[in-house]
Structure 1
Amino acid sequence: MKKYLLIFLSLGVFLNACKKSDDDLTPDKGLTPDSEEVMVQDFMWKAMNFWYYWQADVPNLSDTKFPDTVEGVEAYTAFLASESDPGVFFDDQLLFSEDRFSFYSDDYKELTQAFAGISKSNGLEYGLVKFSDSDDVFGYVRYIIPNSDASTKDIARGELFTGVDGQTLNVSNYIDLLFGDNDTYTLNMADIADNQVTPNDKEVTLTKMEGLVENPVFLSETFEIGGEKIGYLVYNGFTNEFDEELNNVFGDFKSSGVTNLILDLRYNPGGSVNSARLLASMIYGTHTDELFLRQRWNSKIQSELSDSQLTDYFADKTNDGSDINTLNLSKVYIIATNASASASELVLNGLAPYVDVVHIGETTRGKNEFSLTMVDDFEGSYVYNPERENQINPDNQWAIQPLVGRNENADGFSDYTTGLVPDIMLEEDLENLGSWGDLNEPLLARAIQEITGVTGKRGFEVKMPLLEMTNSKMFTILKDNMVLDKKLDINIQ
């Protein structure tokens, strides 16, 4: 019978459909440790040994490290028990030295909810900057999620804070104060002028809400400037639950006669690979015969997958069957910064062989690998499948999100671990972040100048460059993850 399945389901089904043989691609149950105390570590090792992109480069994941003997079982059990904390075991024993992005969760349900844009949050998205002359830290507001607690408070983009609950933020305490167990905290606000950040008397109390949903389609505007019809879209995450809304925005652009697009990904850490493919199609066209990306897996998996499974072409329909609203552009202006990662970079790289991509901002994060969610379900090849919830080991709620492959564009390029370099370098200015959609906001204004060719009266001098050390997105469960959620058409015998 033929089924249409998401990749986190389809790969497991496809692989398990193979008859058991010496060359079978399904994970081997392998050695069974002689202690239940290492159940989580056992799951982690077996999933990583099979799926991990760098499996061949990690000695602890070698297929020959633990022979199938009594001595081998003892050595394997001792190895798993060498670290009682599964999280530390995952980080210290199983990861390749160059892997910056694989991670774990002790609650797979929380992780899978996060992929749908659902989280516990007060709705304030911000960056954190270290003072140059001390270990103190201050935060700046990037944006506020609509319908959140923060959206009801007196706080806006560009404002700064230097303390929480009366304690000055520094490199030692900011994690506990901002990302600890306290659902409610009070920010101590600050002013900025002439490169100086000065605390003021303003306080803002915020409370985290359960189940807050962030719509990544944050802002869309159409401008007519100098005879040019310009569409502007601020898109803050590749969340496939909002693909239809994204497509509707492009429908509005199309009906308005937009001929130039400014896509603002400055704070977009990534997400769904398929949403990236759809967005690229909305920009370039519904060319279903032209390659958007090709996957590269580890040697165990790469040779076993067909060309149709390894490749993705531009789309003409959304997953819900709606016709893609495309602008058919030959040139696009994309605002991207060091906070732009994974699926954001995938859009820039995937479009590059076909479209003149004018990248305005900073060098991007450099995350060119995709991941899959792994849970303790051997029969499902460890790949999370919502239809197999009752098959997940009820005694093990841990999940891992390892990098399992890389995406290359139609030119075969995927080597951007140091980031994608902008065509027009322009950092954000802490003294002049500007308002969303305001024609004087520096990065938007620079993109408009590039489109119209008209030099405005204002300059683009950056008085206080935004040298961010981290941001609130990096403390969510998803961080800057790129998730493979491709649909495959597979014959299951």
Structure 2
Amino acid sequence: MRTIQFKILLLSLFIVFSCSNDDDNPQDQGTTTPEAPINSDQNIDQFIWKGMNAAYLYKANVGDLANNRFNTNQEFFQFLSKFKSPETLFNGLKSTNPEDRFSFIVDDYIALEQAFSGISKSNGIDFGLSLVSQDSDDVIGFIRYILPGTDAEAKGLKRGDLFNAVNGVKLTRNTDFNTIFGQDSYSINLINITNGTIVETGQNVSLTKAQYTENPIFIAKTIEYQGQKIGYLMYNSFVGNFDAQLNEAFGKFKTDGIGDLILDLRYNGGGSVRTAIDISSMITGQFNGEIFSKEIWNDELQNQFSSGADGEEALINRFKNTIRTGEQINSLGLTKLHVLATNRTASASELVINGLEPYIDVIQIGELTTGKFQASVTLYDSQGFGREGANSAHTYAIQPLVLKSANKNGVTDFVNGLTPDLMFKENISSMGVLGEIDEPFLKTALDFIVNGTALTATSKNGFTNDIIDWETKALLPNYQRMYKDNFTFSSINK
């Protein structure tokens, strides 16, 4: 992703009320006036309000973010003093618009930066949760995959293993999953399912987390299936640090002479916009320089971009022929792509599907996707909201939604997700081995490519398969986020 730098030329964007005395402007960086109410988080609170006022996509829907909201410093500080914490202020400034499910605040931006780089604490199990039955509050966990070189791998856990308790305590719909699974160490109680009935195995596995860097390229291989060479890429996150390895994988596909590609995004919650552009350029290559996506910011910034030196071009992302390091892209020149997607497929994953739709035949296999078409940026407590010069007194940062992405034809706002061309839902009691041709989800795609027909669902084998809206990745600060990295306000004119 290119570094985006621009000047705020409209003075009104950073002047929150009309007044001849700049000292009364709550946007000023100076100390508070003697009569202003004080709270321990006041400096952080000021930063949060300024950042949201400057860049928030849904600013127009939040009266408290209006440029003329406050007449004096006193009013501004009194407003901030009503909030008990930076978190409550941030949430109070978010739009009640149901489309904003994804703006967030962190009190440790170092951990956020690490997550964007694929670094987090992990014991190695990636899992989801499901109800035991529609008539019960009992919950079981199902392991989706195991990260190599982790405690889970060392303990012999594998995809498809099931558990129903943590530290001996049964999981239910009312369990605080973030707290239970957020622990650095815990044990899981393994179970089997026979004819829809849970059978306790008596086996408990203790797991401990350690700092881990996850390579999002989980599987990249060429499959020879019924006489055809088909590329298979299971890609679990759009992490810019691995773009070179991603390009290398496409180079191998190219050398192998694949005729089709299956892009497995079933567990991919998104990530870097730039990486989404690059992988789309690797899949194709014949559209270099054409419009991949268009950006829609709040009205003030949209006008700011449009009236700048680059005009409307500043709002356009185009297909590329090099990755961010400058390395030439290994492009396949495909005119068709098969994508495996579930309701966990979000943001940058959806950007790839939507961005490619006007150009090639994208066959989506699986379920409705999440419905995340907005991107965010990281704003720090600094003069230009960039990382450089960030206030050393704290590590708060905000990650507000700042833009909507639309494809070449203007398609956006798919709140309910992207609709599959071929319906398929994983059966958690019969998941198969990832990357093997008899793994049900992959086999569905392979059969569809070769024969034009495939199973549209798996048998539930007497088990409910009612997935709960929680997964391991929910513990990460960048969960289901699409973001523009290296974003800065280059300067602020006041």
* Aligned partners of 2:39 and 2:81 also within 8 Å: no
* Aligned partners of 2:44 and 2:86 also within 8 Å: yes
CA change 1:256–1:47 in 2 (3 A) is: same
> Partner letter of residue 49 of structure 2?
W
Greater CA drift, 86-95 or 299-308? 86-95
1:61 aligned residue (59, 65, 69): 65
> Partner letter of residue 89 of structure 1?
L
* Aligned partners of 1:60 and 1:94 also within 8 Å: no
Q: Which runs of 5+ in 2 are unaligned?
A: 17-24, 306-310
CA change 1:198–1:332 in 2 (3 A) is: same
- The corresponding residue for 2:124 is 123
- The corresponding residue for 2:20 is none
- The corresponding residue for 1:331 is 336
TM-score normalised by length of structure 1 = 0.89
| Equivalent residues in 2 for 1:219-368, closer than 5 Å | 219-305=219-305, 306-368=311-373
Deviations 1:19-72 (A, max 9, x none): xx64577998626753252222221111101100000011221222212x3xxx
2:419 aligned residue (418, 421, 425): 421
> Partner letter of residue 303 of structure 1?
N
- The corresponding residue for 2:79 is 79
Give me the whole-angstrom Cα distance separating, in 1, the residues matched to 2:457 and 2:357: 29
* Aligned partners of 2:424 and 2:456 also within 8 Å: no
Aligned alpha-carbon RMSD (Å): 2.4
> Partner letter of residue 440 of structure 2?
P
- The corresponding residue for 1:410 is 408
CA change 1:335–1:466 in 2 (3 A) is: farther
CA shift, 1:79, in A, is: 1.9
Q: Does the residue aligned with 1:303 lie in a helix, a strand or coil?
A: helix
* Aligned partners of 1:361 and 1:422 also within 8 Å: yes
Number of residues of Structure 1 aligned to a counterpart in Structure 2? 467
Give me the whole-angstrom Cα distance separating, in 2, the residues matched to 1:157 and 1:447: 20
Do structure 1's residue 40 and structure 2's residue 44 form an aligned pair?
yes
CA shift, 1:358, in A, is: 0.4
* Aligned partners of 2:424 and 2:457 also within 8 Å: no
Deviations 1:145-204 (A, max 9, x none): 112222211210011111111111123334265334x31111111112323333321111
Give me the whole-angstrom Cα distance separating, in 2, the residues matched to 1:263 and 1:297: 30
- The corresponding residue for 2:209 is 208
| Equivalent residues in 2 for 1:86-101, closer than 5 Å | 86-98=86-98, 99-101=100-102
CA shift, 1:226, in A, is: 2.3
CA shift, 1:119, in A, is: 0.8
TM-score normalised by length of structure 2 = 0.89
* Aligned partners of 1:164 and 1:177 also within 8 Å: no
| Equivalent residues in 2 for 1:183-194, closer than 5 Å | 183-194=184-195
- The corresponding residue for 2:115 is 114
* Aligned partners of 2:426 and 2:458 also within 8 Å: no
Give me the whole-angstrom Cα distance separating, in 2, the residues matched to 1:399 and 1:456: 47
CA shift, 1:433, in A, is: 0.9
- The corresponding residue for 1:51 is 55
1:141 aligned residue (140, 143, 155): 143
Give me the whole-angstrom Cα distance separating, in 2, the residues matched to 1:76 and 1:432: 58
Q: Does the residue aligned with 1:151 lie in a helix, a strand or coil?
A: helix
Q: Does the residue aligned with 1:187 lie in a helix, a strand or coil?
A: strand
> Partner letter of residue 163 of structure 2?
F
CA shift, 1:133, in A, is: 2.3
CA shift, 1:419, in A, is: 0.2
- The corresponding residue for 2:432 is 434
* Aligned partners of 1:286 and 1:324 also within 8 Å: no
Q: Does the residue aligned with 1:467 lie in a helix, a strand or coil?
A: strand
Do structure 1's residue 171 and structure 2's residue 178 form an aligned pair?
no
CA shift, 1:335, in A, is: 0.2
> Partner letter of residue 101 of structure 1?
F
CA change 1:327–1:342 in 2 (3 A) is: same
Identity %, equivalent residues: 38
> Partner letter of residue 162 of structure 2?
L
CA shift, 1:462, in A, is: 4.2
* Aligned partners of 1:286 and 1:315 also within 8 Å: no
Give me the whole-angstrom Cα distance separating, in 1, the residues matched to 2:330 and 2:213: 25
